[in-house]
């Protein structure tokens, strides 16, 4: 072993899951007692790879079951795609590749792009997870980030420093969260030092975090981390669209948000070995028996297993026999599953297994970790409470924020969409003539008609902005059912006839950059719709295109439609 290793120590910093409050992994940080080994590693790929291997060996001495994060420079990957020293260390200590996340750090500027991508592809094929480190304060181009499609995007601590008072910083984190959803990545933030930063990081949508607030780097892995008590502003990470009561259930947060380390043993493990594992690690709720590729073959629940061995002849009968005899078929979901899908899996099968952990597997069936049903139920209950708070009390429809968020997602996905604005003509006169109770009944009826139509169109979203204003988001081909539901039926309030106006902007991919632009394009169309006469008026336009198309209604004082699209 080189002499410089005598002066090298390693520290461990927890990576905290913000949804569950648990430690999801440990990042291993080199801490030389003297000299500048890290600067030398930046210039030497061999030294950098050797450091990564030593980091894994140091973690083995701590006897931790947690997944590990090791740091490697991008230039090292391009020059030494095999990372022989790291691979050998992982094999020697009995770790599995999918328990290791390689945090790739800059500089990236002069690193051969193809060589880097090929190295990442090879490591990923073998099961290693890939993280992009220091994002936001380095030289990692967004195009390269997209090509890497990392499992984890880790934002630099500099973004967190003033996050609680920096609107631009919060917007940057939120935008990166949206990009991660497209890439299938998990978003982490480094440098969380205060409770206000913790609240801001959660509100911006980060799923994992590190920092001195939770636990500083230490020579021994932290057994516990500090997590502030939930209070105003510290609510759970908001994900997905808050659907109306009449619409389809929300997709729910991704299962990776609740991922916990899994206790893995080979299929050949004896019942005695499993018992030793469970008693040695009291926090482990179960063990997965996996094949040589890391694919779960059987699952062992802690309580049922130990109960079997504690019987009168249990230990004598089973201790030296394969643990498979006391195992069940594993319950698994893919990494792209949602929390609701986990509930479906948990509900399908024996009632006595309803509380068992569910294994999360990658696209090759290898175990990435487990999720606990209690974490899923708690998060979904909290999301339903938040959802209810956002619903309009009159119609039980979400407000504009939910629709705007979905508009931004479709823009990011490059999908065409149609955004419509519906309101009641001369609604103040309706209230003055028929009374507020009749006006409220009319608004509820319109909201119910929109919600019923949305329930039959999976891609449609409906929101109640307030008063008599509604938003409808749909695919361009799904506009007619909404028009028919609100324009082809007679409306009245307190016996007085009422008409509605509908304005629609159809946005092709790339025509708008955000929900604000689509709303701006919609505003003049609403004015145009209100200028028409008829039982119900409807105009349709496109961002940047002159004029608009009149779908329903007539120009005042003229029987012909106004301002047709050329």
Instruction: Give one DSSP letter per residue of 447-509, joined into a string.
Output: HHHHHHHHHT-TT-EEEEEETTEEEEEE-GGGHHHHHHHHHSS-EEETTEEE-EEEEEEEE-T
- The sign of the torsion formed by the CA atoms of 70, 76, 80, 85 equals negative
Most confident of 50-54, 158-162, 317-321, 495-499: 50-54
What pTM value is reported for the model? 0.57
pLDDT for the residue numbered 539: 93
pLDDT at 229: 66
pLDDT digits over 17-28, tens only? 888 788 889 999
- Pick the more confident residue, 516 or 169: 516
Structure tokens at 38: 């890290």
Q: What percent of the chain has pLDDT over 70?
A: 87
Average pLDDT over residues 316-326: 72
Which is higher by pLDDT, 313 or 482? 482
* Confidence category of residue 113, pLDDT binned at 50, 70, 90: very high
Q: Is the pLDDT of residue 306 over 90?
A: no
- Burial pattern 296-311, b for ≥16 Cβ within 10 A else e, equals bebbbbbeebbebbee
Predicted confidence (pLDDT) per residue in 226-283, tens digit? 877 654 433 333 333 223 333 334 456 788 878 888 888 888 888 888 888 888 887 7
Q: 494-513 pLDDT, tens per residue?
A: 888 888 999 999 999 989 98
**Average pLDDT, integer, range 179-194:** 89
Rounded to an integer, what distance in angstroms lies between the CA atom of residue 131 and that of residue 551? 51
pLDDT for 105 equals 93
Cβ–Cβ < 8 Å for 40, 14: no
Q: What local confidence, expressed as pLDDT, does residue 566 receive?
A: 32
Q: Name beta bridge partners: 497.
A: 492
For 122-150, what is each residue's pLDDT tens digit?
999 888 999 999 998 888 998 999 999 99
**Tokens standing for residue 393:** 């009390």
pLDDT (average), residues 70-84: 94
Task: Please tell me the predicted confidence (pLDDT) of residue 244.
Answer: 32
Greater pLDDT, 110 or 559: 110
User: Which one has a higher pLDDT value, 525 or 39?
Assistant: 525
The label of the residue with tokens 């504690």 reads: 310
Percent of the chain with pLDDT over 90: 28
Predicted pLDDT of residue 564? 41
CA distance 301 to 284: 10
Task: Give the pLDDT confidence score for residue 140 in this predicted structure.
Answer: 92
Residue 241: its pLDDT value, please? Answer: 28
Helices 302-309 and 271-280 pack at an angle, to 10 degrees, of: 120
Is residue 388 predicted with pLDDT exceeding 60?
A: no
pLDDT band at 385 (very low <50, low <70, confident <90, very high): low
Q: Is the pLDDT of residue 490 over 90?
A: no
Least confident piece of the model among 29-38, 239-248, 326-335, 418-427 = 239-248
In tens, the pLDDT along 231-245 reads 443 333 333 322 333
pLDDT of residue 439: 86
- Burial pattern 409-432, b for ≥16 Cβ within 10 A else e, equals bbbeeeeebbbbbbbbbebeebbe
Ranges 270-279, 407-416, 552-561: which has the least confidence? 552-561
> What is the average pLDDT value for the chain, to the nearest integer?
83
Asked whether the predicted pLDDT for residue 486 surpasses 60, the reply is yes
Q: Identify which has the larger pLDDT, 549 or 533.
A: 549
């Amino acid at each position: 072993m080189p002499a410089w290793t005598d002066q090298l120590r390693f520290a461990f910093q927890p990576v905290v899951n913000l949804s569950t409050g648990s430690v999801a992994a440990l990042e291993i940080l080199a801490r030389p007692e003297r000299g500048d080994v890290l600067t030398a590693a930046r210039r030497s790929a061999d030294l950098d790879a050797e450091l990564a291997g030593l980091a894994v060996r140091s973690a083995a001495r701590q006897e931790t079951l947690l997944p590990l994060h090791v740091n490697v420079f991008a230039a090292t990957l391009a020059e030494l795609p095999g990372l022989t020293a790291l691979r050998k260390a992982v094999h020697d200590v009995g770790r599995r590749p999918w328990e290791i996340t390689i945090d790739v750090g800059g500089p990236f500027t002069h690193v051969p792009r193809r060589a880097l991508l090929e190295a990442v592809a090879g490591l990923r094929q073998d099961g290693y997870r890939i993280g992009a480190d220091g994002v936001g304060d380095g030289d990692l181009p967004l195009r390269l980030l997209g090509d890497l499609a990392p499992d984890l995007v880790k934002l630099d601590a500099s973004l967190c420093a003033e996050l609680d008072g920096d609107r631009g910083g919060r917007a940057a984190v939120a935008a990166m969260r949206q990009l991660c959803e497209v890439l299938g990545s998990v978003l982490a933030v480094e440098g969380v030092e205060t409770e206000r930063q913790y609240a801001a990081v959660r509100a911006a949508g980060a799923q994992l975090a590190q920092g001195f607030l939770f636990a500083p780097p230490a020579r021994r892995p932290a057994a516990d981390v500090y997590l502030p008590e939930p209070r105003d502003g510290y609510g759970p990470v908001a994900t997905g669209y808050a659907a109306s009561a009449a619409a389809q259930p929300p997709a729910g947060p991704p299962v990776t948000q609740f991922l916990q380390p899994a206790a893995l043993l080979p299929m050949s493990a004896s019942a005695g070995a499993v018992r030793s594992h469970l008693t040695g690690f009291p926090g482990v709720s179960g063990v997965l028996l996996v094949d040589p590729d890391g694919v779960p073959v059987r699952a062992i629940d802690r309580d049922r297993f130990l109960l079997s061995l504690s019987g009168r002849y249990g230990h004598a009968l089973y201790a030296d026999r394969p643990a498979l005899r006391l195992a069940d078929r594993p319950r698994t979901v893919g990494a792209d599953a949602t929390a609701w899908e986990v509930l479906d899996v948990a509900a399908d099968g024996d009632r006595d297994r309803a509380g068992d952990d569910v294994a999360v597997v990658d696209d090759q069936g290898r175990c990435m970790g487990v999720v606990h049903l209690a974490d899923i139920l708690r998060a979904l209950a909290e999301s339903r409470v938040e959802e209810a708070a956002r619903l309009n009390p009159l119609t039980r429809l979400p407000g504009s924020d939910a629709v705007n968020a979905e508009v931004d997602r479709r823009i990011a996905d490059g999908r065409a969409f149609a955004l419509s604005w519906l309101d009641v003509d001369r609604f103040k006169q309706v209230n003055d003539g028929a009374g507020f109770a009749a006006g409220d009944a009319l608004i509820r009826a319109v909201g119910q008609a929109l919600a019923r139509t949305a329930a039959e169109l999976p891609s449609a979203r409906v929101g109640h902005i307030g008063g008599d204003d509604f938003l409808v988001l749909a695919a361009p081909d799904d506009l007619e059912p909404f028009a028919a539901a609100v324009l082809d039926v007679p409306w009245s309030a307190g016996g007085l006839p009422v008409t509605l106006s509908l304005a629609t902007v159809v946005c092709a991919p790339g025509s708008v950059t955000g929900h604000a632009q689509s709303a701006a394009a919609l505003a003049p169309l609403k004015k145009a719709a209100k200028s028409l006469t008829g039982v119900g008026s409807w105009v349709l336009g496109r961002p940047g295109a002159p004029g608009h198309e009149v779908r329903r209604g007539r120009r005042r004082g003229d029987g012909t439609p106004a301002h047709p699209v050329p």
